Chain A
Amino acid sequence: MRDGRESRQRYYRHPLPVRIAHWLNALCLFVLLLSGLQIFNAHAALYWGAASDFDDPWLSIGATLTPEGPRGRTEVLGRSFDTGGVLGTSGDAAAPEQRAFPAWLTIPGPRWLAMGRRWHFFFAWLLVINAAFYLAWSTASGHLRRLWPGRVDWRRLGPSLRDHLLLRHASGEAATRYNILQKLAYLAVIFGLGPLIVLTGLCMSPRIDTVLEPLLDLFGGRQSARSLHFLAAAGFVLFALVHVFQVLVSGPWNNLRSMITGHYDYRAAPGNRRRENRDDRP
């Protein structure tokens, strides 16, 4: 919007490699999550330790028989919740199907562990290759440095937190840079959740375990690795929810376009025009 003092500036925010990696990543995480839930459904209980103590899972999804038929129940840390219709039992209300996660949340929809594993392992490779490509490119190009918080960033932590809570979003030049909460969130995913989910996944392989014993011990055993893998996936879901929410409340079309074409519009004060789009370091 032009009001005489401000002007719309088009800024090249996301270089092509970032855009490709972003959408491949979104595709992989989507498929991995849903095929992962298919795999989880084959034994809908999680444990700590090396082996499964079938009497004492910390999380389990099942069903109990009621006079009206089976009713889904989820037990977490000893508490029991009625989750019929979604978790434990789902589908046709008159004759619900007994399964942990419902058909609309799994790939493939029907109970089909073998096919869920096929999808999971293919997209796991795609995710890892994409992540390696992204890390190599962003290290070589200096993109990773843009994500790294500097001293100035840390000083903005408080104000940035307040702005996010009040849903106040930068629309001027600041919108062309990552803010401190963004940087922390992305770094936590790239160097925290990402490696955690890959390594806990590998530690579920009996063959890989023959050479990764120290890592398996670090996670607390194979069943702990399976639990952590599930929790890391939940972490990714949380990240994706917050991420999409932030995209929606800070100009969805502008954001979406910038992740497709690379171009982002922002309001610039007159006389403060950027000389070169790419030079955006604070």
Chain B
Amino acid sequence: MTDPERRRALKSLLLLGGAWLGGCDRLSRSDRFVRLLESVEPVNETLQRALTGQALAREYTEADISPVFRPNGQTNPQNPEYRKLAANHFADYRLRIGGLVKNPMRLSLAEIRALPARSQITRHDCVEGWSAIGQWRGARLGPLLERVEPLPGARFVVFHCADLWGPAQEPYYESIDLDEAHHLQTLLAYELNGAPLPIANGAPLRLRLERQLGYKMAKYIMAIELVDSFAPIAGGRGGYWEDRGYEWYAGI
């Protein structure tokens, strides 16, 4: 091949590459193509559940605890209702548990602290790519659910939060299924590294869901609702970030 030929070939290759990338952006905005890309999410979920069962996430030692547990998302919600609770150190806080349950409940922090609890030093993996290790203490969600007695139709546990997001000031929310809710390490955490959960990390109560990514672990939990489907809630995809294109099953 002569030099001009080589140059021409290289140029057309670059042009082709440019067209390709532009095409990728157009495809990313095509519903049909995105549905095709999303088709692997249930495959990941089914396989990961089948292969790992109820295995526990690794628990680390105190020496492994990160010097600073990086807070992410919102770190100081401005919601007036939340500000009032925080000003009083959450003494007036009541966690509401309702929806498809036989015994709806309202629990104070003291009552939550009296529930069957667990401490664990675990690694928190953010969808952005970083990890931090912290020691959590909280009420196990499984036994708490047994006390409210879910009705037969209940399939998902939805967490309604105090942090408001976006121009429309929509509340953060998340959802998990009952299998995740009953996992031994799934906690409503009220302590981080031996101290009351700081506001930056989700006070008074945040979810610990050790086998999924950070955005699933709702902070500032105000209410828990059991539902048969999360389709009627907000964007209908089961969580604030899910409504913005992230996977509902965040195992990877």
Contacts and interface: CB of A to CB of B under 8 A. Distances in A.
Contact of A223 (B39, B43, B131, B247): B131
Contacts of A114: 241, 244-246
B233 interface: no
Contact of B66 (A39, A42, A51): A51
A115 B128 CA distance: 13
B210 A121 contact: no
Contacts of B246: 114, 117
A222 B123 contact: yes
B105 interface: no
A32 B133 CA distance: 29
Contact of A43 (B22, B60, B129): B129
B110 interface: no
A233 to B, nearest CB: 14
A52 B129 CA distance: 9
B70 interface: yes
B37 interface: yes
Interface stretch (A134-142, A201-209, A271-279): A201-209
Interface stretch (A14-22, A105-113, A170-178, A187-195): A105-113
Interface string B39-65: 111011000100110011110100010
Contacts of A54: 68, 70, 130
Contacts of A47: 130
Contacts, number: 129
Contacts of B247: 117
Contacts of A210: 52, 55-58, 211
B177 interface: no
Interface in B3-49: 6, 9, 18, 21-22, 24-25, 28, 34, 36-41, 43-44, 48
A118 B37 contact: yes
A179 B210 CA distance: 49
A50 B252 contact: no
Contact of B52 (A42, A115, A208): A208
Contact of B131 (A222, A252, A253): A222
Contacts of B58: 209-210, 213, 216
Nearest to A119: B37
B144 interface: no
B37 A208 contact: no
A226 interface: yes
A133 interface: no
A106 B161 CA distance: 34
Q: How many residues of A sit at the interface, in one of the four size bands?
A: 35 or more
A50 B124 CA distance: 10
Contact of B44 (A119, A121, A204): A121
A127 to B, nearest CB: 12
B28 A108 contact: yes
Interface string A37-71: 00110110101001111100000000000000000
Contacts of B40: 121-122, 125
Contacts of A52: 66, 70, 130-132
Interface string B201-222: 0000000001111000000000
B25 A118 contact: no
Contact of B213 (A34, A53, A206): A206
A212 to B, nearest CB: 9
Interface string A208-234: 111101001000001100100000000
B71 interface: no
A113 B247 CA distance: 11
A204 B28 contact: no
B127 A42 contact: yes
Interface of A: 31, 34, 39-40, 42-43, 45, 47, 50-54, 104, 107-110, 112-115, 117-119, 121-122, 125, 202, 204-211, 213, 216, 222-223, 226, 248, 252-253
24 contacts: A43-B128, A43-B129, A50-B64, A51-B123, A51-B132, A53-B66, A107-B24, A115-B28, A115-B34, A118-B37, A119-B24, A121-B41, A122-B39, A202-B252, A204-B125, A206-B210, A207-B252, A208-B48, A208-B252, A210-B57, A213-B58, A222-B125, A226-B129, A248-B6
